[in-house]
Structure 1
Amino acid sequence: MSLKPLKYLVGVLFILIGLGKISYASSISHHQINLSIDLGKKQILGTDSLILEVSEAEVPFRLSNGISIASIKSGSFSLDFSKMEPKEDHGKPEEGSSWTGYLLKVPAGSVGKELNVTLEYEGTYPSIDFEKDKRHYGLEVGGYLNDKSGLLLENAYWYPEIQGQKSLFTYQLTVRTEKGIAVVSSGTRTEKDNSIEFKMDFPTDQINVVFGPYYITRTNYKDIEISTYFTKDDPDMADAYLDKMKEYLKRDECELGTYPYKSMIVVDSPIMVGLGFPEFTLIGERLLTIPDMINTSLGHEILHNWYGSGIYVTPGSGNWTEGLVTYLADHQFNIKQNGQAITRMELLKQYTVATRGKPEKSLNQVGDDDASEDRAVAYQKSTMIFSMLESQIGKKHFYKGLRALTKEKMYHAASWDDFEKAFETESGQYLEPFFKQWVYGKGAPQITIKEEKSFPHILMTPYSISFTIHTDPLFQFNLPIEVQTETGIEKKTVSITKPDQKVFMLLPSRAQEIRVDPAYKVMRRLNDNELPANISIVLETNQELTVLFSKSLSKEARELYEHFLKLSEIKFHEIQELRQANGPVVLLGPPDTDQKIGGWDPKDVPWRWQKDSLEVAGGSVHGGDESAVLSWYGPAGYSQPIVWIVGYSKKGLNSLAQRLGYYMPWSYVLFRDGKSVVRGEWEKHPETLSLRVFN
């Protein structure tokens, strides 16, 4: 499903653009771009005077399919260029790519030198009617030009870039457009009579421009100018965002050091994502009022100015930014709200669901791929690894290591290897085994308990217990264990070094229950009975889903649900009975006339159907533009999680499709007039990894 929860979407810094397989040695070290934007004609005119570091006689570069090149010169001399032939060694565009590759023939004797090149071009971009077209527009929208607003992100290929360039660059961008249009980009801003200039003296990896008729609110935090650029005039919301920005900047400077730039802007956009760039973050207009946005995602985005937009990822070394920023921002907030154990359990749950039965990359292999299993590695697994690392070396050494790396690598690229060295230096610990297993290794262990025996012991302590911890695949780690006895809890940390690890404990009284990793401190795959029933277990995936339509639906009602699936971009196949499915299922529509759905008669569940009315947690939906979604387990138990969706109108189901992705962590949500009126988690929590002891 494409509607991913924003808390896992925001802060995406490096947009997947489908680079070819070949990396070229030539690079651009500086862009000086004059950009004219004609919103009426949906057209841009560009001149890029760039500095080219030449390493081959023919330099490959690319531009949008909608752009035509007027001329390329070096000084007064015209340079020859041609479209790339579709050969593998040219890194040809993949089918469906939105860019065209070119080869620039440089003058003789230029190889190994700097070459000043001026490229003149013009092009058009489509307009998008976001009010009419209610699809969930996200990262696929690199560029658009509407009557009064527009967006030119890096993946719109609106300026020349060398395919596979690994080095960073600086730029100076001058933008001209009609009066009343505000322009946002990274760099020191200078406003003139008919243009605005952005000078980016710090090395960066992309240029992005946003423009529209914004209401602008500005203030300062210390010497940092902070601003909001909102489409609607909403002083209260602007003030709320500015106050939170100050709070996050204060927190981050205290923990990590001085903010690396001179300004910070929150700018809204019709696309339903949150994206972070140096000095500004782009947030979907309809997402601004979601509580999670200002309470967690905004802090995530600001933190990216240190990690991701301040220190970049070394190309090909694995995207460490999302896990680190999620750990420092979202994870710490969730701990304050829910406690450590539940917060870590949620990470493990998301990881387990997203990667189940799928090939998995290691942390140093995962990039910005949009596959749910890759995102789970980049976000959830990476966050857990940083949590385990801090636990191993201590909070003091952890933050000292971060500050040292930040100071050394700011405005440069860093890899997992740089983190290993920084944490080793500050902690004095040898961390190669940790990084080799958790960062450079794939997957995570799944743990089960086997062969429990409890008996009186011949020594002074009257009781003992023995059992086996089975780990598949084998990882080596320290595993916390608790044994509940008649008189209290006995704790032990076991070093796991073999697939079947024998554990023996002396106890003061008779054992009642064994609990393994009760606080979820170990990166692992959860067992089925440890997974809570919530929406994400079924819907947080890009895979084809199993769908069951209620037999009570009329033809017209069924069409509403089919439109919901299309709008949500859910790929599915249909079944008639729940017993036909072995895994997750989406149920659509109210129960059949016999109160069953797909042959299933839910018993002892925390909701109630009264004809077409659904009652959950003191709330109900029963008609009009209302809708609801709830999660549970089907008749097959933990191996068959379900999500049940009900709506009564096209408007209600459309509204649900647009918002559902942001309520993935909940067990149930009821919507009225496009807003959630009831939401929550079931009181029954999942089982921990435990084993009852029968004496």
Structure 2
Amino acid sequence: MISMMKQTTGLHAFFPRVFREMGAMLFFILANLIATSVSAASGGTPDASDVHAEVQYDITVQIDPVGRKIEGRTVITANTPDELTLMLGRRFEVMHARIDGSSLGPAATSGNMRGWRIHGEQQIPRRIEMHWRGELAPLDASLDHQQTLGRNEPASSEAGTFLPDSSGWYPYIAGKLASYRVAIELPAGQRGIVAGRLIEESESGERYRARFEFPSPTGGIDLMAGPYTVESRGMRGTGGKPIQLRTYFHRQIADLAPAYLDAVKGYIELYESWVGEYPFTEFSVVSSPTPTGFGMPTLTYLGIEVLRLPFIRATSLGHEVLHNWWGNGVYPDYARGNWSEGLTTFMADYAYKERESPEAAREMRRGWLRDFAALAPGQDAPLTTFTSRTHGATQIVGYNKAAMVFLMLRDLLGRDTFDRALHAFWREQRFRIASWADLQRAFETVSGRDLRSFFDQWLSRPGAPALVLAEAKRARSDSGHVITVALEQGTPAYRLRVPVAIRTEGGEEFRTLDLESARQVFTFDVHNKPLEVILDPDLRLFRRLKSDEAPPILRQIMVDRTTVTVLLPESGEARNAAETLATKLQNRAPKLVASDKLPAAPSVVIGLRDQVDAWLAKNKLPERPEIVAGKGSAEAWTLSRSDGVTLAVVSARDAASLAALTRPLPHYGRQSYVVFEDAKMIGRGAWPTRAQAVKID
């Protein structure tokens, strides 16, 4: 479920917005400029009074959710002599616009935005005033999560309003961090929120009003509103600092508020003890009528149905709370790679599995390695190029691989040193833009070790080492037995600490072998007679698994851009359902091929049960596995053909059962097989893996 989440505000929203408006080259130039000019940024935190932004927004906005109308007034104070670009969404009508008392003049338009060039001026501050209004798009609750993430329209209905920063719903200065004050006015019964500190709120007659502030530099403003029931609870953070916790929930889930407030309190206490003081004065959980998953400073915005899932409080919620330290408390230097998603995944999702059991943590590591094995050659990229998740491949690298890099670093340095380095990094970089190099420097300083080779190979190189346990043999010695082990990897070689297990007549023994070349032979003693050597038995090394170590999963055909699609229904509802499902599975228009021959490329085959059985038999492929046969209304499974090509098969009882898979099936990419009854998953699993091992005679 964490894969559904998207961190949106702070610089994480700011940079993608700039990227869309200004182009890739300027994006990276701007990132570097900000990295050298911003010394601190925070919001809703009382100890940030000495931090001042060059730009301040004072916004008053009235929203009519039923009529989908918005009207606002903004005063922008710019304490900089720089040339500025003022931006506003093109859908909005400008009623009045002036700078220092003079007309702002005509705007240039590009895409869905319009902009005004404001010449540099030595006399500061400059005051920009704008009165604007417009119509909001209808909020479409039928969209799935991916479609919701892909839209940047400001949308509204009685059930909810979401004005993403990227939609240009308010006038802003492009390329500048800013502090802000926002006053929201809504009809009675509605409540609104933006990131920051709630200063005051009131409801009288037919109107609700609230005022928020974010007093220090940040990247953008997202606004949410709805017919919320608000619950609040106070807590004391480190040093006794008061922190206000709130839920803004739709009536149908209002009963979940106490449990969510308890969970947020627990996460803040956990990460204050692990990292350092919570950087803000509040945190809110806000419900959305769409299947949303967003994280912002001081709040998270989650779909109603997502919040109902019983495991969200134990997983995704903590991930979003932790982003207030990593991502919104220390800003990633996106021009040099976004480290915050990997560190948050490691300290939230993975940490929760470690607390659950060693087996659960190992299974998560197995999932990460399986996911990476599902990528086709050329689909991954160095971690220094990762900015945000755009599709499955970027998540596998930017979240999973990065998290495992932190795991390997902890294994290398030890838990105590690792945690002390994180404390130091937080103390030094809070409310600053920090890079992977800053992280490396913190770990080197605390550990006293040169970590250049570790960070260089894991951050700058795409891919992963492909290790082979090439040989293992034994000989007698005076002290017992001598084992000789040969390890191989590709070139250029990685420097690796390779765990191996030696199964002996007296139990298991473990060694860590320092591999630095393409082939290396190691010799060591064991007391009891060795029977078998096993490579990386606990899956603690990021590497490309061999085919028998990573049987096929559904994600392989989802992320592989060479995947082709065979649709067995020729017409009618079943054909339409099959084509829609293929599009959802691959997140693109499918490349269709004829069903009369076996494709040479990785393939997904979709059809009704009789059609699927006939197609498998015709192509001399294994019939449907017993574990899915005769169960539910639909099933999907993977198989490896004799030529090594991966095939995914989706089979359903009828057209309606096929259509019911459209939403749920794409979320089961880590499985080798899934069984559904209508849209409900009733069975799933992954084909067994087999570790690399060599028996010793």
TM-score, scaled to structure 1: 0.85
CA contact (8 A) 1:169 1:205 kept: yes
Which residue number corresponds to residue 375 of structure 1?
Answer: 395
Which residue number corresponds to residue 497 of structure 1?
Answer: 516
Q: Which 10-residue stretch deviates more, 318-327 or 145-154?
A: 145-154
Q: How does 1:634-645 map to 2 (within 5 A)?
A: 634-636=640-642, 639-645=645-651
Query: Please, which of 573, 576, 592 is the counterpart of residue 559 of structure 1?
Result: 576
CA contact (8 A) 1:228 1:238 kept: yes
Deviation at 1:153, TM superposition (A): 1.1
Query: Please, which of 630, 633, 638 is the counterpart of residue 636 of structure 2?
Result: 630
Q: Does 1:293 align with 2:324?
A: no
Deviation at 1:379, TM superposition (A): 0.3
Query: Please, which of 172, 176, 180 is the counterpart of residue 171 of structure 1?
Result: 180
Distance 1:488 1:368 in 2: 45
Q: How does 1:613-624 map to 2 (within 5 A)?
A: 614=630, 620-621=631-632
SS at 1:523 equivalent? coil
CA contact (8 A) 1:203 1:412 kept: no
Distance 1:35 1:134 in 2: 29
Which residue number corresponds to residue 654 of structure 2?
Answer: 648
CA contact (8 A) 1:79 1:105 kept: no
Cα distance, 1:177–1:466 mapped onto 2, change above 3 Å? closer
Q: Does 1:196 align with 2:210?
A: yes
Query: Please, which of 228, 232, 239 is the counterpart of residue 218 of structure 1?
Result: 232
CA contact (8 A) 1:630 1:643 kept: yes
Distance 2:263 2:597 in 1: 47
Q: Does 1:414 align with 2:434?
A: yes
Cα distance, 1:239–1:462 mapped onto 2, change above 3 Å? closer
Q: How does 1:60-209 map to 2 (within 5 A)?
A: 60-83=85-108, 97-105=111-119, 109-110=122-123, 113-131=124-142, 136-142=146-152, 143-165=154-176, 168-189=177-198, 190-193=200-203, 194=207, 195-209=209-223
Deviation at 1:586, TM superposition (A): 4.0
Deviation at 1:324, TM superposition (A): 0.7
SS at 2:520 equivalent? strand
Cα distance, 1:293–1:535 mapped onto 2, change above 3 Å? farther
The letter of the residue matching 2:201 is E
Deviation at 1:689, TM superposition (A): 2.4
Q: Does 1:273 align with 2:279?
A: no
Cα distance, 1:119–1:317 mapped onto 2, change above 3 Å? farther
Deviation at 1:212, TM superposition (A): 1.0
Q: Does 1:303 align with 2:322?
A: yes
Query: Please, which of 676, 682, 685 is the counterpart of residue 681 of structure 1?
Result: 685
CA contact (8 A) 1:632 1:643 kept: yes
Q: Does 1:405 align with 2:425?
A: yes
Deviation at 1:498, TM superposition (A): 1.1
Distance 1:341 1:466 in 2: 25
Which residue number corresponds to residue 483 of structure 1?
Answer: 502
Distance 2:63 2:690 in 1: 58
CA contact (8 A) 2:472 2:695 kept: no
CA contact (8 A) 1:482 1:515 kept: yes
Which residue number corresponds to residue 448 of structure 2?
Answer: 428
SS at 1:467 equivalent? strand
Deviation digits for residues 375-428 of structure 1, max 9, x if unmatched?
222101110111111111111122222222223322332221221222222222
Distance 1:321 1:175 in 2: 31
Q: Which 10-residue stretch deviates more, 175-184 or 223-232?
A: 223-232
Distance 1:76 1:52 in 2: 14
Which residue number corresponds to residue 365 of structure 1?
Answer: 385
Which residue number corresponds to residue 349 of structure 1?
Answer: 370
Gapped regions of structure 1 (runs ≥ 5): 1-5, 85-92, 615-619
Q: Does 1:546 align with 2:550?
A: no
Q: Which 10-residue stretch deviates more, 468-477 or 277-286?
A: 468-477
The letter of the residue matching 1:176 is E
SS at 2:663 equivalent? helix
Cα distance, 1:326–1:439 mapped onto 2, change above 3 Å? same
CA contact (8 A) 1:533 1:631 kept: no
| Alignment: residue pair count | 650
CA contact (8 A) 1:538 1:643 kept: no
Which residue number corresponds to residue 2 of structure 2?
Answer: 7
- The Cα RMSD (Å) is 3.0
Distance 1:442 1:645 in 2: 36
SS at 2:246 equivalent? strand
Distance 1:494 1:163 in 2: 52
Q: Does 1:669 align with 2:674?
A: yes
Q: Which has the higher helix share?
A: 2
Gapped regions of structure 2 (runs ≥ 5): 35-52, 237-241
Distance 1:453 1:317 in 2: 42
Deviation at 1:7, TM superposition (A): 1.7
SS at 1:573 equivalent? coil
Query: Please, which of 412, 415, 418 is the counterpart of residue 395 of structure 1?
Result: 415
Deviation at 1:285, TM superposition (A): 2.0
Distance 2:352 2:546 in 1: 26
Q: Does 1:657 align with 2:665?
A: no
CA contact (8 A) 1:585 1:641 kept: yes
SS at 1:657 equivalent? coil
Cα distance, 1:126–1:604 mapped onto 2, change above 3 Å? closer
Cα distance, 1:691–1:99 mapped onto 2, change above 3 Å? farther
Deviation digits for residues 85-117 of structure 1, max 9, x if unmatched?
xxxxxxxx5xxx4323432235x544xx44222
Query: Please, which of 554, 571, 575 is the counterpart of residue 589 of structure 2?
Result: 571
Distance 1:348 1:274 in 2: 25
The letter of the residue matching 1:562 is E
Deviation digits for residues 116-142 of structure 1, max 9, x if unmatched?
2223322333113324x6685321223
Distance 1:134 1:425 in 2: 46
Q: How does 1:237-252 map to 2 (within 5 A)?
A: 237-252=256-271
